[in-house]
Amino acid sequence: MYRLTNSFPYLLNRVGVQMGELFSRRIAGYGVTLPMYRVMAALWETGDQRLGDLAAMTTIEISTLSRLVGEMKRRGLVTRARLKDNGRTVAINLTPKGRTLVEELIPIAIHFEEVAVRDFPSKNISDLKTILAEIYESLKSLEPEIEEANKARKASRPKG
């Protein structure tokens, strides 16, 4: 029998929401939000990112991310500059101020992860991370199914 409270998406979301809310509260004193942290951490990991690539890495919708990056630029945390080899492409990077801030926040993020998984052997955690990455990739196969179902539903609606 199906039970929402025992379903994988529910349990995964519950963990993510709890971790996000606690982490947001912890970093609020730094004047940044969780999405801002994700952008800074992503840029710390890989600089010179285009908006679309950054959206994919941070799972922030592109129009929301565009506004967020604008706000972060106004705060002096990131820069936007045209690439030398492609004048149509804008690269987003951390400023020294943004780099310093994210380097203060990363140990907090590490601590949160350590607390969340402290009762599990490191092999289990490594396996879990691998499995979650594989699940993420597997879910991409649903895209064609969703498109087809939406087309079929639209075609079956009565006209008028």
Please compute the mean of the pLDDT values over residues 17-35 and round it to a whole number.
97
Please compute the mean of the pLDDT values over residues 5-28 and round it to a whole number.
97
CA distance linking residue 138 with residue 61, whole number of Å: 20
pTM over 0.85: yes
pLDDT in tens, 88-133: 788 999 999 999 999 999 999 999 999 999 999 999 999 999 999 9
